[in-house]
Structure 1
Amino acid sequence: MHVSGHTPDIIFYNILLDGLRKSQHLDQAIALFKQIVNQGIRPDTSTYTILIDGLCEGKRLSDAQQIFQLLLGNGYPLNVQAYTAMIKGLCKEGLYDEAKALLYKMKENGCLPDAITFETLIIPLLEKGENDEAKNLVDKLFSKMVDDAVNLFKEMRHKSLTPNTIIYSSLIDGLFKSGRISDVQDVIYEMHVSGHTPDIIFYSILLDGLCKSQHLDQAIALFKQIVNQGIGPDTYTYTILIDGLCKGNRLSDAQQIFQLLLVNGYPLNVQAYNAMIKGLCTERLYDEAKALLYKMKENGCVPNAITFETLIIPLLENGENDEAKNLIDKVFIKVS
């Protein structure tokens, strides 16, 4: 080629480099890469991805790391494939902490991970039983990259690696936040088919999503289902529902749920009372709100600063200064 006067371009070198990689002539591949750089030919994303992937596949991790750091140091725009190849190489050697650090470095450098990147890390973490760490990574993916998250979920199922309840919960949360309600139904169905039993954390996330997306009838039905199944809702669960119903102008439904909980002896906390008081004040039902405040105190639940703000400020704005002062004297001063 040189004799005929043709000058090889980067496409030619990439093909040659890929051939050396596949035939495991890795020393020659490294030498060729250095030759490319020394000749002033700028490697493209394919060039260094081929080399890094080949070195990692060939168990030459230290060489791959040297090349990777050289590229980073010289300002080459490493793409998602190059980062993923390096992360995969680290995971193969069991170097998960280094792999996670590189994932965060990747995001810092403005390169967004894709489903393959996360699959490379999450699946080994789940297999090792590091569920909390897997969930942390999943949350970071789902918060901004829902399509990739769904693809990852499907890939896990395809590989017969069943997602646990933590992963299902994170996926549901991400889908709700991105408005993908129809996909939520598919995930719930898939969860039941795979034999997973939802826990109260999962149900609380689902309930929160339904309330925030204004699917309030479904939220009420879900809450009743939780109770009928004998799963005891926690304070977070019923506070979500009461707050959601009040914000959705479904005050009578909120009151029914609230009374049902009171009658059945559920330990309503200050957040649940505050949500109900706020709902009553929004409808300007100040007498009912004040009555609930006294009831709250009778039941041994101490009002806090938010309770004060929720009820006292509307009374002052309504010109009911004496009533506001009376409440402050009777309730708030005595509990402070």
Structure 2
Amino acid sequence: MLCILKAFDSAVFVMEETARRTSFYNVLIWAKCRGSEFQEARELFGEMRRFCCYPNSNTYNYLLGSLCKDGRIGEACSLVEVMNELGYMPDAITFEIFIFHACRQDRLDFAMEFLNQMISGGLEPRLTTHAAFIKGYFNSNRFQEAYKYVVDMAVKYKYSANVNYSLLASLHHKKGKLLDARDILVLMIEKGLKPNFPVYVKVSKDLYKAGMSHLAVDLKSRFSKLNSG
């Protein structure tokens, strides 16, 4: 609360009266980064160590996320090198930060490099990481690549299949590509994957509204059989 109010001196006073912990410093760093006060955030790293509160991956991720958001990618990459030198290995969120911002800037090849590094390091992409790629491809009108990404990731990471296919269908639906959305849901069902229910309902309703009741009925039948099975 004190950090949100930018009452940093009071926040530090509370720490002095209670305890200095890494988690408390992380809140301070998050707040400083939120206000683009990067130099002050970096100075907190040194203070933490003086009081034997050592940074963790969350500490670095707050600063990395803010640097990337501010367009300071070079500084963010340098900070990752510092992390590695100090023995702090990037985690799934670290990679996601770079992937997310690269995808938003339509630098999908750059984002894929980070994904490959992540996978080669034994880390599994989070659902939000997959979403960044799917939305990135889709927003760049690279629909086939978005589809290929979903298919490939469904093979590698089965846990992501339902969510990724449903997201792709939802994006097609929002763009007015109703038949494409319907085809993706049908494909999901044929693979034994259960579509996101709100997405299924929206596509079904719009098929009826568009005068394609036969396709809506067919989709409903397939969905019902999947549920009964």
Same structural fold, with TM-score higher than 0.5 when normalized by the shorter chain:
yes
The equivalent residue for 1:201 is 93
1:139 alignment partner, one of 12, 27, 30: 30
Relative contact order (alpha carbons < 8 A, sep ≥ 6): 1 or 2 greater? 2
The equivalent residue for 1:154 is 42
Query: Any residues of structure 2 matched to 1:4-23 within 5 Å, and which?
Result: none
CA 1:243 to 1:125, structure 2 compared with 1: closer, same or farther past 3 Å?
A: same
Structure 2 CA distance, aligned partners of 1:229 and 1:87?
38
1:217 alignment partner, one of 106, 109, 113: 109
SS of residue matched to 2:160 = coil
Query: Any residues of structure 2 matched to 1:1-336 within 5 Å, and which?
Result: 84=9, 88-92=12-16, 94-95=17-18, 124-126=20-22, 131=23, 133-143=24-34, 145-146=35-36, 148=37, 150-158=38-46, 161=49, 163-281=55-173, 286-297=178-189, 298-309=191-202, 311-312=203-204, 315=207, 318-331=210-223, 335=227
Q: Is the contact made by 2:102 and 2:110 (CA closer than 8 Å) also made in structure 1?
A: yes
SS of residue matched to 1:166 = helix
Structure 2 CA distance, aligned partners of 1:292 and 1:206?
29
CA 1:155 to 1:221, structure 2 compared with 1: closer, same or farther past 3 Å?
A: same
The equivalent residue for 1:6 is none
TM-fit CA distance, 1:165: 0.6
The sequence identity of aligned pairs, in percent, is 18
TM-fit CA distance, 1:217: 1.9
TM-fit CA distance, 1:198: 1.0
CA RMSD of aligned residues (A): 3.3
Q: Is the contact made by 2:185 and 2:195 (CA closer than 8 Å) also made in structure 1?
A: no
TM-fit CA distance, 1:199: 1.2
The equivalent residue for 1:109 is none
2:31 partner letter = K
TM-score after normalising by structure 1: 0.54
1:95 partner letter = T
CA 1:294 to 1:191, structure 2 compared with 1: closer, same or farther past 3 Å?
A: same
TM-fit CA distance, 1:226: 1.6
Q: Is the contact made by 1:246 and 1:275 (CA closer than 8 Å) also made in structure 2?
A: no
CA 1:318 to 1:166, structure 2 compared with 1: closer, same or farther past 3 Å?
A: same
| Number of residue equivalences | 218
SS of residue matched to 2:87 = coil
Q: Is the contact made by 2:102 and 2:108 (CA closer than 8 Å) also made in structure 1?
A: yes
CA 1:321 to 1:140, structure 2 compared with 1: closer, same or farther past 3 Å?
A: farther
CA 1:316 to 1:209, structure 2 compared with 1: closer, same or farther past 3 Å?
A: farther
Structure 1 CA distance, aligned partners of 2:25 and 2:159?
33
TM-fit CA distance, 1:189: 2.7
- Which deviates more from structure 2 when the two are superposed, residues 297-306 or residues 281-290? 281-290
Structure 1, unpaired ranges of 5+: 1-78, 97-123
1:256 partner letter = K
Q: Highest CA radius of gyration, 1 or 2? A: 1
- Which deviates more from structure 2 when the two are superposed, residues 316-325 or residues 217-226? 316-325
SS of residue matched to 2:21 = helix
Q: Deviations over 1:224-246 (max 9, x none)?
A: 22222222223332233222222
